[in-house]
Amino acid sequence: MSKTIDIKKVDSNFINEEAKEDILYIDPKNSDLVKIYGLNWFNEDKRYHRLSKSLDEVLPELEGSVDVLAGNSTGGMIAFYSNTNVLKIKVKLSFKFHMGHMPYTGQAGFDLYIGKTYQDMKFYRTSNFDFSKMEYEFTYFNHDKLFDENKLFVLNFPLYATVEEVLVGINPISNITPCIDLFNNNDKIVFYGTSITQGGCASRPGMSYTQILSRMLGIECLNYGFSGNGKGHIEIAEALSSIKDVKMFVLDYEANATFDRLKATLDNFVKCLRKSYPNVPIVIISKIPMYLEFHDDAYKANEKKVRSYQKNYVKNANDANLYYIDGAKVLGKTNVSEKTVDGCHPTDYGFISMAEYLYPIIKKILG
């Protein structure tokens, strides 16, 4: 006879002591005490979606589920300075996925980084919760006294859930100021792609490769990975081309497009971006190695053909600011087949490898 036991009854390390004393709750939608990054239209629309509210009637007309995925908050961040001795959140979700091969903490949790500046932050903790519910509270810490000085706190939004509301709870007598200097300037890198770009299957939000790169580069990275639906829609290209202060576009959508679809959309996607950004670097990354490449010679040969197409497209484009990165190399040279959860989607190990490979290339291109 099978039995299910709550792990907290077995291991006390899994118990989360919720803060019960007076808490000041801050709503980023109507308070300037915290700052939102990574969600380009937040200040305009006051919602935690990745695309503008002006597209709400357009997205359902696209084939697939881009409209649903646009509500997922991957890449979003809440940043503030405080000396609070208590930090907790209250979260309301309006949508979440239910994937057995990706931790719930990555799908619908918030993880916390603490430091003095963005690039010296260290991971602290991830929210844990009852995944059967659409609302949860979580206390990250509850110390006896205030910190001696203000620290930088950054909360990363969930990768595969739509956040309707998030309230940040602190000690009412603590200091708090919004972090308006998380990055040195307004520069942005815009990533467009698939579930891998969106963050599947990272164990927590800060471990998606775009967020790792953001911390490494000190640049705001906007995430437009649409799980299973990165198919080169021209409507998405038009939306991305309207974003201000973009210093680089990264296109990584081969894995969601058939070869014919890729050939039919890639040039139009690039040309659309070029209308707004004639000289900004555009980087095209081919698909990372999938499990079939290690076991199926025909699949491997076909993938080589698709990669060659993208490489030759860049080579023959007569565009000095168009770059190609071979996705076959992005997971590194060692233990490549050990870096995914299902032969396709990276684990944290895989995402770290991706970021470490891409970092020097992107930094060199940006100059």
Return the CATH fold of 19-178.
Jelly Rolls (2.60.120)
Nearest CA to 193 out of 245, 162, 233 is that of 233
pLDDT score for 7: 43
pLDDT in tens, the chain (367 residues): 455 445 455 445 545 566 656 899 999 999 999 999 999 999 999 999 999 999 999 999 999 999 999 999 999 999 999 999 999 999 999 999 989 899 999 999 999 999 999 989 999 999 999 999 999 999 999 999 999 999 999 999 999 999 999 999 999 999 999 999 999 899 999 999 999 999 999 999 999 999 999 999 999 999 999 999 999 999 999 999 999 999 999 999 999 999 999 999 999 999 999 999 999 999 999 999 998 888 998 989 999 999 999 999 999 999 999 999 999 999 999 999 999 999 999 999 999 999 999 999 999 999 9
Residue carrying structure tokens 């972090």: 179
Q: How many residues does the chain have?
A: 367
Domain limits of the chain?
A: 19-178, 188-366
CATH fold of 188-366 reads Rossmann fold (3.40.50)
Tokens 């709550």 identify what position? 6
Taking Cα atoms as reference points, which of 358, 287, 274 lies closest to residue 317? Answer: 274
Name, in order, each residue with C-beta under 8 angstroms of 296's C-beta and a sequence gap of 6 or more: none
Beta strands in the chain (DSSP E): 24-26, 35-37, 77-82, 86-96, 111-115, 122-126, 135-142, 151-156, 161-170, 176-178, 188-193, 220-225, 246-252, 282-285, 322-325
pLDDT of residue 293: 86
Model pLDDT, residue 221: 98
Euclidean distance between CA atoms 309 and 290, whole angstroms:
18
What's residue 3's pLDDT?
52
Domain 19-178 matches domain 188-366 at the CATH topology level: no
Pull the structure tokens for residue 6.
Answer: 């709550």
Backbone angles phi, psi at 195, to 5 degrees: -60, -35
